Every structure is written in structure tokens, then in C-alpha cells.
Amino acid sequence: MSGYRYNNEKINDDRILWAELIGGDKAALGQLFDLYVSELLSYGYRICRDTELAKDAIQDVFIDLWMYRSNLSKDVQVKYYLYRCLRNALLKQIDNAQVSAFGIQEADSLEDPDASPESQWLATESDTRRHSQIARVLENLSDREKEVISLKYYSDMKIRQIASLLNLKEQTVANTLQNALVKLRKHLVYLLVMLLSSY
Amino acid sequence: MQDYTNYTPEDFAQDDDFIQWVKSPEIERETFWQNWQETYPFKRNDIELARQLVLLTRHLPEPNVSGEEIRAMKSEVFRKIEELDTPEETGFRQLPVWRWASAAAVTGVLLLAGWYMFLYQSGTSPVYQEMVSKASEEYKLIEIENSDHSPKLINLPDGSSVLLKKGSRLSYPNHFKKELREIYLTGEGFFEVAKDPERPFYVFANEMVTKVLGTSFTVKAYSEDKQVFVKVKTGKVSVFQSGTVEGKENFNTKELRGLVLNPNQEATFEEGKVVAGKQQDKKQDTATDPQIQDMMFEYEEVTVGEIFAQLEKAYRIRIVYDKTVMEKCPVTASLTDEPLSSKLSLICKAVRSDYEISNGEVIIRGRGCD
């Protein structure tokens, strides 16, 4: 489980690297890659649930950055821009392959049909098991809710950025986040009760 | 400060300051939120729920990708960029670079790797044209002609390297097949083939095929004399006539059949026959520069600066590195006939650095050797 990152210096760094990239510095491209590859992998994987697809799309994004560097705008939020490129690249591919994804449809295909809170938490036998069940709580969210949660808590994006990334209104994103948290809280209360009663 | 008294657990869980506190509590935030809970004890449960909500998001699905895979992705990005930037030349597949603790470890690995060979032919032989046009039905071919005076280094997609002599031409697919590697030569080249026994490497020159499982060797196949000459520097190769039934069998097996050549042995193909033994030395280069096929790459406590200088000469390539930090680093290694890419990656391991090939230059990045 990778942790959270809080690199404020990243933001200053990446603007410099971005300018160098536009100026034709290949090393800057490599450094941007190093800086963002792991969070892009997480984000890409969460969109398509396919590691290879995510890897390919990320490579394409960086190749395109280089090939079209002279057309890039100097004044962008680099991280947001990279997420946006990756998302577009993946959606294009997913569209072709007709795979369900975050945001494309509010698919509930990933939900386990009998994933009621009860059935999920009754058999909390071991830590590993509990761990995977916590992960399953998140599976009760719709794809869009998961994507918003991921962008908010994992990628530290502002509602405004999430809205623009997903082509949604800010209010829609705020509502989605609120609904997701309410859902999670319901499962969580159940979880806490189970934990307490098991001691 | 925000008035948090009316916050629900969901509200807390959306508050940036609160999220920061949960994820990485620093002294200032820790103090604030502890005090706040002291002041509003009835909110403790809500705070705890909100904290759990934020923590729950740590369990989002994660892809399982190793550091090595990430490095391979990066190399692939740079390889493609190189390929797109210079459309007539493919880039270079950089081997994954692992960090190695000591130069001593490198030596052991090096002894396992490598072979090489060389091959000649000049002018553009009709056989070459025919082979290339036939192969281009199957592959997207890249053709490189060296019109310069000095030999030209070509990095093949599998990491093998070829030093192509003046006036010679080489064609190779932009991607090799899974089961074999085929290239076409007219003129002369020195080959260092990346070891891959599952994927034999074939050099087609005039009517002779040289088959390698990983080795270094020279092939000379100048069109006007219809003669093909092969000399092995390290490893083993087999040579046979192309287009015959026997040749086909030799081609398809994973073993080396036909006439098998060992280091320092050579063979000539003439008048439809493969003959072992010395060539008539009419095409030998008279240059006084040491030729790569005669060089040794054995280093005992040799500085990186000297090694790079030798590689620059052998491969006619520029190596760019920070002399002030790296030049004096000592390396002990026994490099023989692995392609340039492997040589670089092994040396880089020894001095804890990375390399990249860009615009025909090798760029080394490292912090030196303490």
C-alpha cells in the first residue's frame, strides 16, 4: 500500500522541469517521469483495472509530451495536465475495448451482489482478511465515486481541479464526494461495531 | 480558523486541514486538533469517524508494478523518442540498470555474458537487394548506410551492436520477431550480439548465413568478389549456405549446425562452398587505429575515465559524463564481447550510475564513487 505524498517542493520543481522540457531538454522529461510515474500508475490502474494498459498509456503520454513539446503551454498545472492526458489516453483505449471504467458509466459490475455490510464483516477472522474486507468496502462505491475519492485523498486535488478533469460541475463533484462519504460511513459504523464486539 | 462545531463526520473528512492532520500529523496540527477535541468533547466520536473515513481511502486498489518495470517503462519511452526523432535509425533498448554494491560483483556477471563476430561485403550486391526486398514484405525494415570514413555504430532493437564499415549497408527490422533475429548486410561489419539463446541471430550476407546464439564476430561480404568472410572473436557461430535444403534445416534448429567456428577461427564462402581457414587478405584495413575486433576490455582497478576513453575509440561514439566526480573511480571488470549497451550497463552498475543513449551520444549520470 503506497502512502500519501505531500511534496510541496514538487510543485515548484515541476514548473521548472516543464519549462526545460518545452525548451527541448530530454533530461527534464526523465525527471518529470520519475516524479509522477507512480501516482499516474495508481490513477491509471484505478481507471481501467489493467496494469499493462495503464503502463502503455503512461508511456504514450510521455512520448507525446516530447513529440509535441513545442505546442505545450508554459502555464499549466503540470500534475493536473498529466492526469488529464492519461485519462484521455485511457478513455480512448477503453472506449475501443468497451471496458467499463470510472466515469464512463456508473457501473456497478464490480460490486459483489451479496456485499451487504453484514456479509462483509461477519467473517472478520484475521488481519489480512480484515484488510481485504476494508478494501471491499470501497468497492461499494460507484466507479465515479471511487475516482473522486482517489483524486481527493490520494492525489490531493481540489474540487475545482477534479471537476475540470472529469468535465463535471464543481457542485456535482462535491455531491458525489458527499454521497460517497455517507456510504462509506455506513459501512464504517458497521465495521467499528464488529471490531468492538470482537474484543 | 474554521468554526468546526457544526461539522458532520463527512464535513470533517472533506476539510483539507483535517485531512492533512490524519495523513501526516505535524506538531502544529496535532496540537490544534487535540485541543479542539478537549474543548468540544461531544465531537470526539464524529472526529474519530471522520478520521477512519480518511484512513479508509488508503485501501484504494494499487497496481503491482516493480521498480524494475518502472525503469523499463522509462527506457522504452526514451527508446521510442529516439526512434521517432531519427526515423532512419532505431533507438536503443537500454537494459534495466540495477544498483550494484561493488565492482567485484560485476566481474562474475561479465564472464557469463557475451560473444562476437564480424562480417564483410561491399558495394550493394544484387543478393542483398533481393533479400531486403523480400524481407520488407514481412518486416518494417530500417536501412543504414555508412558513407563516413570511420565505422558507424548501430544499436539494434535487441541491444546488440554493429560497427558498420565505410560504404557498407545494413538492414534490420524495427522489431525483431519473438523467435529469431534476422539482419542483412552488404559490406563489412563487426557484430556484438546480445545473448539470447531462445532467439538465434542470423546475418545474411550474399549467399551465406551466419547463425549466432550470442557472440562477437566479423563478417565481410563485398559484392564484387562474391566472397564472404567470417571471423569469430568470442563465442561460437555456425555458417552455411542460404537457400539450400540443408541450409533451411540449419536455420530452423536451435542448435548450431553447418560449419561451426570457435574464437579466432574463420571461414570463407566462395563458389558455392563454405571453406574453413584463412581469407585472402585483400580487403584488410590498413588503418593504424586499433580495431575493435583486436581490442580487449579487461580492467583491473582501471579508472572510469580510461575505460570510457577506450569505449569511445572502439565504438566511435562520444561519452559525456561529469569528469570531476567520476573520472577517477576505479573499476575491475572483464568485459569482452557484450554489446555496447551491456558494457555500459555493467560499468554503470559498478560506479552506481545510469546511462542513456541520445542523439548518438552516451550520457552517463552518477554521483561518483565516494
* From the candidate CATH numbers 3.20.20.70, 2.60.120.1440, 3.40.50.11540, 1.10.10.60, the one assigned to the domain spanning B114-280: 2.60.120.1440
What pLDDT score does A6 carry? 44
Burial of B246 (0-12, 13-18, 19+ CB in 10 A): exposed
The pLDDT of B248-276, averaged and rounded, is: 68
Give the range among A166-170, B26-30, B134-138, B253-257 with minimum mean pLDDT: B253-257
What pLDDT score does A175 carry? 95
**Helix, strand counts (H, E) of chain A:** 9, 0
pLDDT at A103 over 60: no
d(CA B370, CA B348): 15
Tens of pLDDT, residue by residue over B272-316, are: 677 776 544 444 444 445 677 777 777 777 888 888 888 888 888
d(CA B62, CA B59): 8
- Averaging pLDDT over each range in A189-198, B61-70, B262-271, which range is the top one? B61-70
The pLDDT of A98-103, averaged and rounded, is: 46
What pLDDT score does A123 carry? 37
Q: What is the DSSP code (8-state) at residue B184?
A: E
Here the contacts of B99-107 (C-beta below 8 Å, separation 24 or greater) are B99/B349, B99/B352, B100/B349, B100/B350, B100/B352, B102/B350, B103/B330, B103/B331, B103/B332, B103/B333, B103/B350, B103/B351, B104/B332, B106/B331, B106/B332, B106/B333, B106/B346, B106/B347, B106/B349, B106/B350, B107/B332, B107/B333, B107/B334
Cell readout for A122 is: 461477519
Choose among A138, A144, A142: nearest CA to A108. Answer: A142
Q: What is the DSSP code (8-state) at residue A108?
A: -
* From the candidate CATH numbers 3.30.43.10, 1.10.1740.10, 3.50.50.60, 1.10.760.10, the one assigned to the domain spanning A1-99: 1.10.1740.10
pLDDT at B143 over 80: yes
What pLDDT score does B163 carry? 85
pLDDT at A168 over 60: yes
What pLDDT score does A194 carry? 65
What pLDDT score does A105 carry? 38
Q: What percent of chain B has pLDDT over 90?
A: 5
* B142 or A100, greater pLDDT: B142
Instruction: State phi, psi for A108 to the nearest 5 degrees.
Output: -115, 20
Burial of B124 (0-12, 13-18, 19+ CB in 10 A): middle
CB atoms B10 and A181 under 8 Å: yes
Cβ contacts of B59 on chain A, cutoff 8 Å: 1, 131, 134-135, 137-138
pLDDT at B140 over 70: yes
Q: Where residue B240 falls among pLDDT bands split at 50, 70, 90?
A: confident
CB atoms A153 and B54 under 8 Å: yes
pLDDT at B165 over 80: yes
What pLDDT score does A18 carry? 93
pLDDT at A83 over 90: yes
Cα nearest neighbour of B78 on chain A: A63
Q: What percent of chain A has pLDDT over 70?
A: 70
H or E segment to which residue A56 belongs: helix A51-67
Collapsing DSSP to helix, strand or coil, B304 comes out as helix
What pLDDT score does B252 carry? 62
The bridge status of strand B208-212 relative to strand B318-320 is unpaired
The pLDDT of B200-224, averaged and rounded, is: 74
What pLDDT score does A128 carry? 55
Q: Where residue B73 falls among pLDDT bands split at 50, 70, 90?
A: very high
Cβ contact A135:B59 at 8 Å: yes
Using left for φ > 0, alpha for ψ between -120 and 50, and beta otherwise, residue B212 falls in beta
Tell which A residues from 48 to 67 touch B, by Cβ distance under 8 Å: 49, 51, 54-55, 58-59, 62-63, 66-67
Tens of pLDDT, residue by residue over B223-232, are: 665 677 777 7
The pLDDT of B87-105, averaged and rounded, is: 35
What pLDDT score does B195 carry? 73
Cβ-count burial B212-244 (b if 16+ within 10 Å, e if not)? bbbbbbbbbbbbebbbbbbbbbbbbbbbbbbee
CB atoms A146 and B60 under 8 Å: yes
Cα nearest neighbour of A55 on chain B: B73
Cβ contact A4:B25 at 8 Å: no
Q: Where residue B241 falls among pLDDT bands split at 50, 70, 90?
A: confident
Total residue length of chain A: 199
CA atoms within 13 A on the CB side of B251: 16
Cα nearest neighbour of B20 on chain A: A6
Cα nearest neighbour of B65 on chain A: A51
* B269 or B168, greater pLDDT: B168
What pLDDT score does A152 carry? 94
A105-199 CATH fold: Arc Repressor Mutant, subunit A (1.10.10)
Chain A contact probe: residue of B20, B53, B55, B359 with most A CBs at under 10 A:
B53
Cell readout for B114 is: 557475451
The B-side interface with A (CB below 8 A) comprises 9-10, 13-14, 19-20, 23-24, 49, 52-54, 56-65, 69-70, 73-74, 76-78, 80-81, 84, 356, 358
The pLDDT of A84-100, averaged and rounded, is: 76
ipTM score of complex? 0.77
pLDDT at A140 over 80: yes
What pLDDT score does B146 carry? 84
Average pLDDT, chain B: 75
Cell readout for A98 is: 468497451
* B358 or B180, greater pLDDT: B180
Choose among B149, B152, B110: nearest CA to B346. Answer: B110
Give the range among B29-38, B113-122, B335-344 with minimum mean pLDDT: B113-122
CB atoms A51 and B65 under 8 Å: yes
CB atoms B84 and A4 under 8 Å: no
H or E segment to which residue B330 belongs: strand B330-335
Q: Does A68 touch chain B (CB under 8 A)?
A: no
The answer to whether the Cα torsion of B20, B21, B25, B31 is positive or negative is positive
d(CA B237, CA B260): 6
Choose among B129, B163, B125: nearest CA to B146. Answer: B163
What pLDDT score does B88 carry? 42
Domain with CATH 1.10.1740.10 in chain A: 1-99
d(CA B102, CA B28): 44
Of B62, B73, B81, the CB nearest to A58: B73
Q: Where residue B89 falls among pLDDT bands split at 50, 70, 90?
A: very low
The pLDDT of B324-337, averaged and rounded, is: 79
Cβ contact B233:B218 at 8 Å: yes
Cα nearest neighbour of A179 on chain B: B10
Total residue length of chain B: 370
* B157 or A163, greater pLDDT: A163
Instruction: State phi, psi for B160 to the nearest 5 degrees.
Output: -70, 155
Give the range among A92-96, B30-34, B100-104 with minimum mean pLDDT: B100-104
Give the range among B163-172, B174-183, B254-263 with minimum mean pLDDT: B254-263
Domain with CATH 1.10.10.10 in chain A: 105-199
